[in-house]
Amino acid sequence: MKNILSKRLFSILIILLIILIDQIIKIVVKTNMCYGESVHVTNWFYISFVENPGMAFGLQIIPKILQTFFRIMLSCAFIWYISIIVKANYKYGYIACTSLIFAGAVGNIIDSIFYGVIFNQSSQYEISTFVPIGNGYQDWFYGKVVDMFYLPMVEFNWPNWTPIIGGDKFVFFSPVFNFADASISCGIILLIAFYSKSFSHSFELVKEKIANYSGPLKLK
């Protein structure tokens, strides 16, 4: 019981720390940089302030409000999933990976829910500031996700003789992302690299929990 409690606290500390760091970075960038402004750190690392209105890489597949609610529902399911693996006494490493993914998701959800109502519009000429709730650039659940990390680690132009893309510029890694995105990516990569068997086994636990569920919403 004591071991389970320590793992629960371990997961909570990771989640809170990631969310805190993510939000501090986003608020500092949003309240100190104009939209599109870029700070050169090294030749392969820039702080470039942009905002993402949709999902990963700026995709807008479904309406914004549905995207936000979909993220919230997935996060609620992930809370349940983490509680299952903690009670099943999974390793600290596995719990850390899942906590990283959950924390990253929540970090971006906070932007979507709150940023539209507590900040005014960022622009190329004006820095955003906090405003009274409701006087922001959008309604609740319609906020944009703040991104800032740009890592063009490899840049070159394709040879002119290359079919179709000849002469075009190639950049790796071109997407601009945030600390929450990095947390999600690291959690997923570590899960795949070190805990694939544990991940498969955990779904057996989930299936078992669903099969044994006897609450008021149980399907007959």
**Active-site residue, from 22, 111, 139, 147:** 147
Has 22 been annotated as catalytic?
no
Per-residue pLDDT tens over the stretch 167-196: 787 777 788 999 999 999 999 999 999 999
DSSP letter string over 42-99? ETTEEEEEEEESSSGGG--SS-HHHHHHHHHHHHHHHHHHHHHHHHTT--HHHHHHHH
Is residue 100's pLDDT more than 50? Answer: yes
Per-residue pLDDT tens over the stretch 15-40: 999 999 999 999 999 999 999 999 99
Is residue 164's pLDDT more than 90? Answer: no
**Active-site residue, from 22, 111, 168, 181:** 181
Is residue 214's pLDDT more than 80? Answer: no
Separation CA 167–CA 157 (nearest Å) = 6
Has 147 been annotated as catalytic?
yes
Among 109, 171, 201, 146, residue whose Cα is nearest residue 30: 146
Per-residue pLDDT tens over the stretch 40-68: 999 899 999 999 876 655 556 677 788 88
3-state secondary structure of 162: coil
Does the pTM exceed 0.85?
yes
Strand partners, 39: 47
